[in-house]
Chain A
């Protein structure tokens, strides 16, 4: 039985620069997989490859055993891939509700408006439904992105630094939300700099440095891994 999302041997070269180097990552249904690494390690590039925004130089991406490496972004989304963005990408001139509604309609939800409102309440911004997205503070905008991603009815949820811009309470609530989403059978792939959040909620963690996966395992294993310590703190 293969994982819901399998990234096999993906490399991305920008001219002479190698952004991702032979990366292997997988995300299982029902679990939260953390992807950490210093800035510039290639985390966002890897997300772009997985969602089809950036073509990989080599390697394959499979979703539930099907090779989706050649599909355009929107087809991957329809197969059950949803994501949020490190640098926010909301539909700024639409209302908050419409942001989620668009995604719910694309997913073929029979009652999209109700679903959108329910999802906004679930991530904790239900009261903002009528606001224009462009007027939101960063923290709320991140949560709206999560709600929009959930409206796609995804099998795999990719979150790119969802906690940046959230305060401590909001971050804790986000952690609870992600755990409960995994409990519903979602495969969650989380890029995050907030280490306490990652260590608390992830089942497995992969560490990316200079485009390579240098360590993988449970949070405790990764924390103790010598290469991880080196990547984060520099050579001793």
Chain B
């Protein structure tokens, strides 16, 4: 009995903290329609900031609390709303979620940067050491305070939302934003206040929780998962149900903890340790609640997205994959062993990124678990009896594809944000319950054997890198085939308008299932081909997030976008070599890239590709482009220029010179100007390929940075010099009659439109 009460109190405390966090989530979702993935990370940062004030600098607790919860957190929330999220109205759900995922990744990066694990003292609860006895159980004041906070939040929110003018404006903004605006409410302001308040609630929850679970980045960030589960019980709208959900989850966790410590509870089930059960409980709960949600109704009003969608052509796909293989093959001979391994790593990530193209890019289903499926591929490939054989590879892929379909099955009824969360819950569940098992990843690592192909030695880093580029190319062509097939058209149709899809007879469930199985299968290749000793943390949930981010930034509906995302994540690690202290910047970079997405929802790569389009239509340019690359390679092979000069020269040639070749050779600019620009580019090439970068700059990261700088300056400069089109500002039809008088024809047209004349 004593124990029951004790664990009930623990459960209620945890539940109260979850309730505080979850209510913040509900408030932002209902006022802005954006699901704030970064809610937990906000709480985590607030807890660290509080620790800094309270313990590192020794300020009194009330002052620290007031500063964190009353000033810093609300300012942060309001800033995020104003700067990042306000641009996101009328963008696709995938972009909205990705941007808040970007925030999360950036905040995790910031915290690891500012507070390295070494110098964190113990985080104490409020009035540490004080307790009262309730039913013979000692309850710390901290727990009572947590519970009191939850009640205060519940009462306070109720009052604010229903009794104040601002609260009514907030609720009106949910129902019909435009109508609320017409009636004089300021939904923008209401939404900003909601985000500010929500950040404070996240901070409060983070500080309360930090005293219970310790000041650690990942557990505090994952507070958001528990908050999601609770909020989803309330379907992201109802605060009372959210509180019920939070308390149930808290109690479940406490009782699991109790059971785990009891003698009757099995230590192992089927060789799997049950110790991770409690950690996985919030995600299991989330998964169950999501599945219990009613079927999503088909909705009218598909967003008419400006996104450009080009069906990949065979000629371009073959050319692109051929170039990739040629590039990797010519590069590996010049790279050091360590850099070759980095390259392979980037290619593995690119294959995992490719798995998102059919699922997210074509079918519009956001998955937060690409690396989880890759991890499953690695584990199965390593554990199969004939591991390393081609047969084992195929079996692995088939099993993981089946798992993908199986996971998708219950989640199929969900749409948008709910589905993304379900995949996230799955990722965490697999990480905690499977990858963290010592008999799965022995001592945290699993040995994936190299694939045995006659005539190849894939244990050799160079051969492995080339093989991975071939594998990526082959899988990319599979994806192209799918996109050009019936299934591909169905996937895109489903993304564009599920409603119209159903009314032309599409079984959306079947299409989603196919997309999930295909995606999981491709990801399995990434895991199974990433041979050698691989650690479990490579495939954990927090690794999937930056990958998803960078792929969406690159452009998730294009294969080149996936390559961009994967390679960039790999290069990001290389960038960390610039200056060790600057390596922290690279922790924040992927997140910042994700946040910037709000301004360019199409992704970066489609825009880059647009620059190359004229080259494909101009044969002399193609010939010169290839000849230039061959000359560079020959010069390197003969020892005239160094390896790094080759890398810099090739990058500048391909990215800055080649796109300008058609305009240079056959453009409309006058001959003298074309000649001058050509000479200028030649000079830049001379610098890029002529200087000995290996001795000039001592870190690979700096050299990469130099490439980026030269390309970013020389390419656009040449383009604008060659551009002869005269720009006239586009006249908005709305301005006719305001900035200039109507013409007689326009008057007639207007009169016809309103029915004044026929």
Q: Is this pair of chains taken from one and the same complex? A: yes
Q: What is A's interface to B at a CB cutoff of 8 Å?
A: 51, 53, 72-74, 77-78, 81-83, 85, 87-95, 98-99, 101-103, 105-107, 132, 134, 148-149, 151-152
- What is the bound-complex CA distance between A102 and B488, given in angstroms? 10
In-complex Cβ contact of B505 among A77, A89, A99 (8 A): A77
Could you name 15 residue pairs across A and B whose Cβ atoms are closer than 8 Å? A73-B499, A78-B505, A81-B503, A85-B499, A88-B304, A90-B496, A91-B497, A91-B501, A94-B492, A98-B489, A102-B506, A105-B490, A106-B506, A107-B505, A151-B504
- What is the bound-complex CA distance between A63 and B434, given in angstroms? 51
**Interface members, chain B 480-530 (any A CB < 8 Å):** 486, 489-490, 492-493, 495-497, 499-508
- What is the bound-complex CA distance between A78 and B507, given in angstroms? 10
Q: Which residues of A have CB within 8 Å of B490?
A: 102, 105
Residue of A nearest to B295 (CB): A72
Residue of A nearest to B508 (CB): A74
Please tell me if the beta carbons of A102 and B504 are within 8 angstroms of each other in the complex: yes
Please tell me if the beta carbons of A89 and B502 are within 8 angstroms of each other in the complex: no
Q: Which residues of B have CB within 8 Å of A132?
A: 308-309
- What is the bound-complex CA distance between A148 and B304, given in angstroms? 18
Q: Which residues of A have CB within 8 Å of B305?
A: 92-93, 134
Q: Which residues of A have CB within 8 Å of B493?
A: 91, 94, 99, 102
Please tell me if the beta carbons of B497 and A72 are within 8 angstroms of each other in the complex: no
Please tell me if the beta carbons of B499 and A53 are within 8 angstroms of each other in the complex: yes
B754 within 8 Å of A (CB atoms): no
Closest 4 CB pairs of A and B: A93-B309, A77-B505, A73-B502, A103-B504
In-complex Cβ contact of B492 among A77, A93, A107 (8 A): A93
* In the complex with contacts A73-B502, A93-B309, A87-B507 CB distance below 8 A: no
Q: Which residues of A have CB within 8 Å of B756?
A: none
Q: Which residues of A have CB within 8 Å of B500?
A: 85, 89-91, 148
In-complex Cβ contact of A106 among B298, B306, B504 (8 A): B504
Q: Which residues of B have CB within 8 Å of A149?
A: 504
B56 within 8 Å of A (CB atoms): no
Please tell me if the beta carbons of B496 and A152 are within 8 angstroms of each other in the complex: no
Please tell me if the beta carbons of A134 and B505 are within 8 angstroms of each other in the complex: no
B301 within 8 Å of A (CB atoms): yes
Please tell me if the beta carbons of B489 and A89 are within 8 angstroms of each other in the complex: no
Q: Which residues of A have CB within 8 Å of B503?
A: 51, 53, 73-74, 77, 81-83, 89
Please tell me if the beta carbons of B505 and A101 are within 8 angstroms of each other in the complex: no
Q: Which residues of A have CB within 8 Å of B306?
A: 134
Please tell me if the beta carbons of B502 and A77 are within 8 angstroms of each other in the complex: yes
* In the complex with contacts A53-B298, A91-B500, A106-B505 CB distance below 8 A: yes
Please tell me if the beta carbons of A85 and B308 are within 8 angstroms of each other in the complex: no
B748 within 8 Å of A (CB atoms): no
B300 within 8 Å of A (CB atoms): yes
B307 within 8 Å of A (CB atoms): yes
* In the complex with contacts A87-B301, A89-B300, A91-B497, A101-B489 CB distance below 8 A: yes
- How many Cβ-Cβ contacts under 8 Å join chain A to chain B? 98
7 more A-B residue pairs beyond the given contacts A87-B301, A93-B496, A105-B490, with a C-beta to C-beta distance below 8 A: A53-B502, A74-B507, A78-B505, A88-B304, A90-B500, A132-B309, A148-B500
In-complex Cβ contact of A74 among B301, B304, B309, B505 (8 A): B505
Residue of B nearest to A106 (CB): B505
Q: Which residues of B have CB within 8 Å of A83?
A: 503
In the complex, which of the residues B298, B495, B500, B504 has the most CB atoms of chain A within 10 Å of its own CB atom?
A: B504
Please tell me if the beta carbons of A91 and B496 are within 8 angstroms of each other in the complex: yes
Q: Which residues of B have CB within 8 Å of A98?
A: 311, 489, 492
Q: Which residues of B have CB within 8 Å of A94?
A: 309, 489, 492-493, 496
B705 within 8 Å of A (CB atoms): no
B132 within 8 Å of A (CB atoms): no
In the complex, which of the residues A105, A107, A149, A152 has the most CB atoms of chain B within 10 Å of its own CB atom?
A: A105
Please tell me if the beta carbons of A92 and B489 are within 8 angstroms of each other in the complex: no
- What is the bound-complex CA distance between A95 and B493, given in angstroms? 11
In the complex, which of the residues B302, B493, B499 has the most CB atoms of chain A within 10 Å of its own CB atom?
A: B493
Q: Which residues of A have CB within 8 Å of B302?
A: 89, 92
In-complex Cβ contact of B502 among A72, A95, A151 (8 A): A72
Q: Which residues of A have CB within 8 Å of B304?
A: 88, 92, 134
In-complex Cβ contact of B298 among A73, A88, A92 (8 A): A73
Please tell me if the beta carbons of A92 and B496 are within 8 angstroms of each other in the complex: yes
* In the complex with contacts A89-B300, A92-B302, A74-B492 CB distance below 8 A: no
- What is the bound-complex CA distance between A89 and B504, given in angstroms? 11
Please tell me if the beta carbons of B298 and A89 are within 8 angstroms of each other in the complex: no
- What is the bound-complex CA distance between A92 and B304, given in angstroms? 6
- What is the bound-complex CA distance between A65 and B465, given in angstroms? 64
Residue of A nearest to B301 (CB): A87
In-complex Cβ contact of B486 among A77, A92, A105 (8 A): A105
CB distance from B685 to the nearest CB of A (A): 37
Please tell me if the beta carbons of A89 and B506 are within 8 angstroms of each other in the complex: no
Q: Which residues of A have CB within 8 Å of B307?
A: 93, 134
**Interface members, chain B 264-322 (any A CB < 8 Å):** 298, 300-302, 304-309, 311
Q: Which residues of A have CB within 8 Å of B311?
A: 95, 98
Q: Which residues of A have CB within 8 Å of B300?
A: 53, 85, 87, 89
Q: Which residues of A have CB within 8 Å of B489?
A: 94, 98, 101-102, 105
- What is the bound-complex CA distance between A157 and B493, given in angstroms? 21
CB distance from B508 to the nearest CB of A (A): 7
- What is the bound-complex CA distance between A94 and B495, given in angstroms? 10
* In the complex with contacts A53-B499, A92-B496, A93-B305, A77-B298 CB distance below 8 A: no
Q: Which residues of B have CB within 8 Å of A148?
A: 500, 504
- What is the bound-complex CA distance between A91 and B301, given in angstroms? 12
Q: Which residues of A have CB within 8 Å of B309?
A: 93-94, 132
Residue of B nearest to A133 (CB): B496
Residue of A nearest to B504 (CB): A103
Please tell me if the beta carbons of B497 and A77 are within 8 angstroms of each other in the complex: no
In the complex, which of the residues A78, A85, A93, A103 has the most CB atoms of chain B within 10 Å of its own CB atom?
A: A93
Please tell me if the beta carbons of A90 and B497 are within 8 angstroms of each other in the complex: yes
Residue of B nearest to A72 (CB): B502
Q: Which residues of A have CB within 8 Å of B507?
A: 74
- What is the bound-complex CA distance between A87 and B300, given in angstroms? 8
CB distance from A52 to the nearest CB of B (A): 8
- What is the bound-complex CA distance between A74 and B495, given in angstroms? 16
Please tell me if the beta carbons of A152 and B492 are within 8 angstroms of each other in the complex: no
Q: Which residues of B have CB within 8 Å of A151?
A: 504
Residue interface bits B448-459, CB-to-A below 8 A is 1, else 0: 000000000000
Q: Which residues of B have CB within 8 Å of A89?
A: 300, 302, 497, 499-500, 503
Q: Which residues of B have CB within 8 Å of A51?
A: 503
CB distance from B633 to the nearest CB of A (A): 39
CB distance from B751 to the nearest CB of A (A): 15
CB distance from B44 to the nearest CB of A (A): 37
CB distance from A138 to the nearest CB of B (A): 11
Please tell me if the beta carbons of B308 and A152 are within 8 angstroms of each other in the complex: no
Q: Which residues of B have CB within 8 Å of A91?
A: 492-493, 496-497, 500-501
- What is the bound-complex CA distance between A1 and B304, given in angstroms? 43
Q: Which residues of B have CB within 8 Å of A95?
A: 311
Please tell me if the beta carbons of A152 and B504 are within 8 angstroms of each other in the complex: yes
- What is the bound-complex CA distance between A169 and B499, given in angstroms? 30
